[in-house]
Structure 1
């Protein structure tokens, strides 16, 4: 993927290097690294073409799923303005946000975005949102109260409600949040044939999605939490029946979750094959790779999602993931980086990543996360060698 803008001038050495000497064994702490983050020059983001679309999107997508739950409207608007003033041009939301999903808060994220969106030129803001996949539990999303499917009536209702909440007349990228059929999701490692169920045919899903495009309510289509089989089916159906082709896939990808994408989706999504752009979500593994959950008794951990919502993403806590995280945290400190910078720069440097979805609950977090894009590109051979050594011992440790 061609990068269109020059990288930042903040190159040449890691942010804490002034605190170290060649002979010193001093470990660079997050405190010293964050001091350098605060004084670092502005980040110059790069922009990539999203699949076969004409969307040029920033290499960072602003995530929104805490707004309306952990974040107030004022805090969300501050994040939006800071992000877009610093080069981000795409935000990612969903009809089920904020998370964890609750009937009383569902849709609040979109409602919070609405007034801010009116302060910007609409064509300067790329809006990505999602229609829920199969669920027999989320009965509050639809007027009939029968759960969700990826069929014509569900897609139409989802799009209409999303447009109303957001206060806009079109969506730039509509994604299927998770498949209508059974697939292993959210930490489940293996496909279980016993869980197979009847699902809406791919052609029917794509035809319904094509209808909202024809109505001018959606520009492009994408998938999320999808497999190679699903991507190939959508691409094949589109080609066979002359329907719109998906341009993106939004899947989890981080130092802790690599194999599902690297093993075969990289080949499928390659520009020379299906040309599907990856929007990498959870590049910090729900904040775990920041290191803040290594001590669950700390105030930082208690304020985080995994502390506030017991059981949420606990696959990162009830596994070998914590051991791997401690190794990555140590690696980051030894090279003068914060753990978040290391994790984000790793994802940033992967040639198959079009954009990383970054969410934050504080401006401090957002600024630190964006500082990873001012670091020298790519990460040094030494750092990558150490990352791969850890990976060889802790290969996707959060899978159940």
Structure 2
């Protein structure tokens, strides 16, 4: 397994990160523990979670995924083998979480205490801001509108709260998620000018159906050492080809939850069919091809894979051994030019 430095920290994280957002909804506690055991067998040292997981989020399952990781730490005693990343809610109307989550100092301090308790640890290696407090283009939103700026928690307040956590030793490093070029720039500016903790990563969606990260953030990630932690690298599993032709595999995510339609546009389905055909033309597994493409981008620090079965997990991890030929890459780019942005 290849390891890469997390930002400008002294932490070395595996090129493949174990994603966890199905644990507690599609996966049981025992299955979650089995996945963590296997990930460590394969030398994966980087686990990613969030206080809101599992997804789709529900009040009755809030925090359950962190709890599963906590029980694994307690059972195995392997906390020191893992670089653990979790996230604090961004602005939301979820009244069951602190009366409505915000990225204020008070809420961040409360959130981290809850995560530490559920995770059964006294420190978090990477604490991430799940999405901005301000109104911006997260989760594929197009256009642009501004909410009442008087009701926005400033980035400076958020960053100062994170800086306190670092100074207290509860958090080692910090990162952002679902952020924009302006947001990343502002965090870096405040860190530089005010002597506050510096962000080391950005966790945004990145896959063959959504390469928008390359437009404004890839250069910043590379030049400023704020590497991408790529989430949804298989576009909610669509790039595996398992949904092609209108298939609805039993127990699969898009079969169970109709709310996940982001990658189910007509152009998205057409692009998937072409990418799957590229893989088959070259004798490759479509999911491994899609993951390998992400693994080798110079601005990517780690690729966050997720799986609901052990067979999926094993295959996804194996993608780190696959090197795509120039012919495969050329065919991928040809599909991309035909469908440059099929899904928002």
Per the normalisation by structure 1, the TM-score is 0.83
**Alpha-carbon distance in structure 2 between the residues aligned to 1:196 and 1:82:** 47
Q: Deviations over 1:338-365 (max 9, x none)?
A: 1101100110111111100001000000
Structure 2: gaps (5+ residues): none
Equivalent residue in structure 1 for 2:121, among 165, 168, 171:
168
Matched, 1:124 2:81: yes
Q: TM-score, normalised by structure 2?
A: 0.97
Rg larger in 1 or in 2?
A: 1
Partner of 2:54: 98
CA offset at residue 117 of structure 1? 1.2
Matched, 1:275 2:231: no
Q: Which one of 181, 203, 215 corresponds to residue 263 of structure 1?
A: 215
Q: 2:257 aligns with which of 309, 332, 344?
A: 309
Is contact 1:235–1:245 with CA below 8 Å preserved after alignment?
A: yes
Offset at residue 73 of structure 1 (A): 0.7
- Higher-RCO chain (CA-CA 8 Å, sequence separation at least 6): 1
Q: CA deviation at 1:195?
A: 4.6
Aligned residues: 342
RMSD: 1.2
For 1:206-245, what aligned pairs fall within 5 Å after superposition?
206-245=159-198
1:328 pairs with 2:328: no
How far apart, CA to CA, are the structure 2 residues paired with 1:247 and 1:275?
7
Q: CA separation in 2, counterparts of 1:319 and 1:163?
A: 43
Residue 57 (1) aligns with residue 57 (2): no
Provide the rounded CA distance (Å) in 1 between the counterparts of 2:221 and 2:114. Answer: 31
Assess if the C-alpha contact under 8 Å between 2:21 and 2:55 holds in 1. yes
1:366 — aligned with what? 313
Question: Counterpart of 1:104 in 2: which secondary structure?
Answer: helix
What do the CA deviations read for 1:12-68 (whole angstroms, capped 9, x no partner)?
A: xxxxxxxxxxxxxxxxxxxxxxxxxxxxxxxxx100001111110000000000000
CA-to-aligned-CA distance 1:154-173 (integer Å, 9 cap, x gap): 10111000000010000000
CA distance in 2, matches of 1:68, 1:196: 36
Determine if contact 1:296/1:307 at 8 Å carries over to the other structure: no
Is the contact between residue 135 and residue 145 of structure 2 (CA under 8 Å) also seen in structure 1? no
Report if the CA contact (8 A) 1:246-1:276 is conserved. Answer: yes
| Superposed CA offset, 1:119-157 (max 9, x none) | 13322111100001111x211121xx2x01101111011
1:351 match: secondary structure: coil
Which residue of 129, 133, 143 corresponds with 2:90? 133
* 1:319 to partner: Cα distance: 3.7
Q: State how far apart, in whole Å, the 2-side matches of 1:245 and 1:238 are.
A: 5
- The secondary structure found in structure 2 opposite 1:315 is coil
2:109 is aligned to: 156
How far does residue 188 in structure 1 lie from its aligned partner after superposition? 1.5
Matched, 1:386 2:331: yes
Structure 2 partner of 1:22: none
